[in-house]
Structure 1
Amino acid sequence: MTNPHEGLTVALLAVPESMASTLYGMYDMLGSTRRDWDLLINGVSGEPLIRPLIVSADARPIRSRSGLTIAPGHSLADCPHVDVVVVPGLMIAPGEDIAGRYPLEVAWLRERYAEGTLLATSCTGSMILAETGLLDGQDATVHWAYSDAMAARCPAVRLHPNRALVIAGEGQIILGGGGTAWQDLALFLIARFFGVEEAMHVARLHLVDWHHVGQQPFAALARHRQAGDAVITDCQEWIAQHYDLDTPVAEMVRRSGLSERSFKRRFARATGMSPLEYVHTMRLEESKQLLETTDMAVEAVANEVGYEDASFFGRLFRRKVGITPAQYRRRFGTLRRALAQQQGETAHMPGMRTVG
């Protein structure tokens, strides 16, 4: 644990694709450690324990893809000694190839790692870290929607897209997976260097809840409809409306006009999933929607999406989503209702109008 009197310097690495919300969110949360809690409790700002810096290749202002301007304070060349480097999430498409896009940043990250600096990433920031080769042979995570793309580009990385936080490189690399995993990452860094109590103070101050359930409950069917194989595309479009049938795979085989063996081989090549796995995924996504928006019993939900055996449905849901159907309903049904209520109240405020 770091001596509180020494403090900690954290560099937040900015590139044109950086998500400003993640970068500045971490900047504010890390910078608030000790300082803002003392202000809240004692009325006087405390001495901040963490000094966050924003660094980039040349320190010039960056126009992010969201339209916000990021103002780095240091270039890579004049950056002072730092204890931690964080690569925030990137606003890129899952299929966007970033290989060779950040040569200066990649070299700088390798140098910092060789010096013993702790490297951390949030969400899609791990895509840059993977370019360094430091994740080869290591456990890692990334936002669930980018897991297929990262696995294809970086086969040497042991990817765990269901995990919200992964520690690799014998503790020298920390990776946060989901879009808001930067909050978990910030709390983890505070706890690691200054203790759990300081991290709890920051969590209470910012009303942050640890994402202990991981990313699975938030995931949806992320694979895009396959346009390169017209036969499989037709089957995908058909199954989207008929996934609740008793023998959906057999019906897709019949519809395709192929032999069962040829159909399964072409379907897996086109989608990355077996036909049965694809059907289960479609059913589970619909069951999530029903759990969020209705009061149907779990058994009725199972039957509605095509499962006569509610016990099998429950086991499959738990294995694929990470929590039980009842837990999913409590977490996301309550959230959905609260947001709907908030939206309804806001729409009736004077001067407010609905867009869309």
Structure 2
Amino acid sequence: MSGPPPLEALILALPETAGSALYGMIDVLSATGTLWEQLVAEDTGARRIVPRIVAHTSHAFDCGNRIPVQPDFSVGDNPQADVIILPELWLAPDDDMHGRHREVVEWIRSRYLGGSIIYTACSGSVLLAASGLLDGREATSHWAYRDLFRTRFPQVSFRPEPNLVFADRTGRIVTAGGTTSWHDLAIHIISRHCSPGEALRIAKIYLLKLHGEGQLPYTSLVRRQPHADSIVRRAEDLLREHFRELTALSLVIAECGIPERSLKRRFKAATGLTLIAYIQNLRIEEAKRLLECEDISVEEVAVAVGYENCAFFRRLFKRCSGLTPGEYRRMFASIGVTPAIEG
């Protein structure tokens, strides 16, 4: 007796698409129902998902880093599938894709209205936001696009912390976070549309893991925002130099030469952060660096970045990074260490 027909999935490819996410998703989804059986059970199994590439054109082209793409369909063919996947795009942090790929955007909207489930990985959600389908809904993307969503898509409730976000209770739109979040997305798709058991088997084969810790541990809390306010830029430079000092805030207010209320208002408008939050972010980023690179105690780290109260520092660090200082050190301190080669 034959099983259910395989799930049809269309994966969008554009010139901006990251080839690793595109072909990684194709490999993993294509293996559902067959690869575990071949490796472990000596059985051929049956494919559970059939992914195909849809693009802005039916002709071959190169996507990011000159990786070749041969589409199965163009959006002009109006292909239909149960699932539409928008993988990562190579985009600058301020690139909202305004005015580009209008036929693609319209096809995405029509597929959603036709009943397809839309999944995005990383910056694929920027394209989805440009379609308007995320208006009034929650979404995530790579943490580096937080300010892009704040300024260009304010109608989207952007959540930089989790790695998977459901736009509504129906689950018709699911967005995934940073670059390798397509791993989490693939596991979710297989679990949801095939079975949790099959998702676990695929995760074991490909050594995939769910990033249950979310994106906060990986997020840089301090980034230069493009703005034209020279006073705010002066304040940012001063804070980067003096953030460890207890008098950093009063020093900046005095040096900038405008009323305190005006500086605070302009700083928040330009950066999206209060002055206090900016100082805290600078201190936590420096604490991360010390935890990654220096063999000193958490108490010493707290003092080094400007906090005499270690308990307060620990709570602030956990709120900003999602991890305790000790957990953060265990997670990242060994990344730069090369294992010794036994001779």
TM-score norm. by structure 2 comes to 0.94
1:275-294 equivalence runs, <5 A: 275-294=275-294
Counterpart in the other structure of 2:324: 324
1:252 matches 2:252: yes
SS in 1 for 2:333: helix
Q: Deviations over 1:235-267 (max 9, x none)?
A: 322322321101211011122122222222232
How far has the Cα of 1:110 moved from its partner? Answer: 1.4
Amino acid at match of 1:330: R
How far has the Cα of 1:199 moved from its partner? Answer: 0.2
Mark the runs of 5 or more structure 1 residues left unpaired by the alignment: 346-356
Q: Separation in 2 of the partners of 1:334 and 1:97?
A: 36
Query: In 2 relative to 1, CA 192–279 (structure 1 residues): closer, same or farther, beyond 3 Å?
Result: same
Q: Deviations over 1:138-185 (max 9, x none)?
A: 111111100111122222211111111011242111110111111000
The answer to whether the 8 Å contact 2:80/2:111 transfers is no
Q: Deviations over 1:34-55 (max 9, x none)?
A: 2111121134443221111011
1:201-216 equivalence runs, <5 A: 201-216=201-216
Counterpart in the other structure of 1:115: 114
1:79-228 equivalence runs, <5 A: 80-169=79-168, 170-221=170-221, 223-224=223-224, 228=228
The answer to whether the 8 Å contact 1:62/1:70 transfers is yes
SS in 2 for 1:77: helix
Moved more, 94-103 or 299-308: 94-103
How far has the Cα of 1:79 moved from its partner? Answer: 5.7
**Percentage identity across paired residues of the two chains:** 38
Q: Separation in 1 of the partners of 2:202 and 2:120?
A: 20
Q: Separation in 2 of the partners of 1:64 and 1:58?
A: 12
Mark the runs of 5 or more structure 2 residues left unpaired by the alignment: none
The answer to whether the 8 Å contact 2:78/2:107 transfers is no
Query: In 2 relative to 1, CA 222–304 (structure 1 residues): closer, same or farther, beyond 3 Å?
Result: closer
Q: Separation in 2 of the partners of 1:157 and 1:298?
A: 37
SS in 1 for 2:123: helix
Q: Separation in 2 of the partners of 1:8 and 1:165?
A: 21
TM-score norm. by structure 1 comes to 0.90
Counterpart in the other structure of 1:335: 335
Q: Separation in 2 of the partners of 1:97 and 1:155?
A: 12
How far has the Cα of 1:291 moved from its partner? Answer: 0.8
Amino acid at match of 1:176: A
Amino acid at match of 1:127: V
SS in 1 for 2:77: coil
Q: Separation in 1 of the partners of 2:279 and 2:246?
A: 11
Q: Separation in 1 of the partners of 2:295 and 2:331?
A: 14
1:46-57 equivalence runs, <5 A: 46-57=45-56
The answer to whether the 8 Å contact 1:165/1:174 transfers is yes
Q: Separation in 2 of the partners of 1:194 and 1:24?
A: 20
Counterpart in the other structure of 1:272: 272
Counterpart in the other structure of 1:354: none
SS in 2 for 1:307: coil
How far has the Cα of 1:223 moved from its partner? Answer: 3.0
Query: In 2 relative to 1, CA 222–39 (structure 1 residues): closer, same or farther, beyond 3 Å?
Result: farther
Moved more, 269-278 or 308-317: 269-278
Q: Separation in 2 of the partners of 1:232 and 1:152?
A: 17
Counterpart in the other structure of 2:59: 60
Q: Deviations over 1:3-42 (max 9, x none)?
A: 9531111100111111111111101111111211112113
